[in-house]
Amino acid sequence: MIAARDLKEADLFKGLNTKQLQLLAKHFTEQNFLSGQVVFSQGTPSENLYVLLEGEVTLAVKVKGEVDVTAHSVGRKGEAFGLSCLVRPYQNNVTAVSNKRTRAVSINGEVLRKLMKQNSKMGLEITEKVIEIYFHRLNSTRAMIANLFKMFKFQTGKSKLAETYYEA
């Protein structure tokens, strides 16, 4: 169990009242990770939601089983990761690795989903925040892809990636 004030600073829970935060806080536990420690792996069941207290976690996507591409870095106090435990099929779509000593709080996804169903107002507030976070990360990824294509065009002089990729 943690103090409700620790959750109040979390992006995901900013719209919740004190009673709702206290209800959630009972189910959170503190976790510490060493530098380089894998918090969870892509493709595994998503069991927990995490809120960063201090440190940094990289969320990476494995592309074709060979290359890890950083999808997002979680480095601001109150940032949430492990959101897949709230979205079907409850599978991790990234690998989370601690970049340095990291402290976070976590809650079991099944427990959180149950609490959200029992308190629909709280559930709606959290769901809207999850959507907002995913939307922000999607737009950030789109911007990275657009910049990659601009760099590719500048370096190759080709306007289409496919033209270069399929050259003989």
Tens-digit pLDDT profile for residues 2-30:
988 889 989 999 999 999 999 999 999 99
- Single-letter amino acid code for the residue at 41: S
Instruction: Name, in order, each residue with C-beta under 8 angstroms of 135's C-beta and a sequence gap of 6 or more.
Output: none
The residue with tokens 């074709």 is 64
pLDDT surpassing 70 at residue 163: no
pLDDT surpassing 60 at residue 103: yes
Asked if 84 and 91 count as a contact pair (C-beta separation under 8 A), the reply is yes
Query: Based on the structure, what is the number of domains in the chain?
Result: 1
* CATH code of residue 147: 2.60.120.10
The CB density around residue 127, as the number of other CB atoms within 10 Å, is 14
Question: Mean pLDDT: which of 1-5, 60-64, 147-151, 153-157 is highest?
Answer: 1-5
| pLDDT band (50, 70, 90) for residue 117 | very high
How many angstroms separate the CA atoms of 95 and 82, rounded?
A: 9
* Integer-rounded Cα radius of gyration of the chain: 18
Asked if 4 and 18 count as a contact pair (C-beta separation under 8 A), the reply is yes
Range of the domain at 134: 4-165
Asked if 106 and 50 count as a contact pair (C-beta separation under 8 A), the reply is yes
| pLDDT for the residue numbered 159 | 55
pLDDT surpassing 50 at residue 168: no
How many angstroms separate the CA atoms of 36 and 8, rounded?
A: 28
